[in-house]
Amino acid sequence: MYTKEVMDHFSNPRNVGDIENADGVGEVGNPRCGDIMKIYLRIENDVILDVKFKTFGCGSAIASSSMSTEMIKGKTIYEALDLTNKEVANALGGLPPVKMHCSVLAEQAIKKAIRDYAIKNNKVIPGLTDVEIVEDHDHGEEEED
C-alpha cells in the first residue's frame, strides 16, 4: 500500500517541467524497466533557486521526484548532495521495498545534475568526485516480467 504522502505527490506533483538553459541537468534511469528521471537545476551562488523534473515511470518514481525537488529547493548544492534516497522515502512516509529504487533514482538524478553544474562551471565540489551513479538499478525479483 502507498502512503498518503506518496499518493499526494503522485496525484499533485510539485516542480514538474524543465528549466530552459538550466545550470545543471541530471538524467538517470533504465528504459528496460520504464523509470527515467530528469532533474533541472537553476543555481546562483551555489544555492538551488529552482528545480524542475520530468519523470517517465510509476507513481513511486513520480512521487520520489516531486518530494526530492521539494527537499532541495532553496538549499545549497552541498546540502543537496547530502540528500539520501532513505530521506526521500522517509519524507514520503515510506515506499514498498520493491519501489525503493525510485528514491535511489531521485538521489542519483540530483547528484548527476550537480555534477553537470560543476563541470559547466569548472568547479571542484568536495565529495562529488566519489559519487557513483548506477545507471542499471535493481528492482528486486517482484518486478520481473
Q: What residues are annotated to the active site?
A: 33, 102
Which DSSP category does 144 fall into?
A: -
Distance CA 37, CA 93 (A): 21
Instruction: Specify whether the backbone of 107 is left (phi greater than 0), alpha (psi in -120 to 50) or beta.
Output: alpha
DSSP 122-141: T---TTTTTPPP-SS----G
Distance CA 44, CA 21 (A): 13
* Neighbour count for residue 1 (Cβ, 10 Å): 6
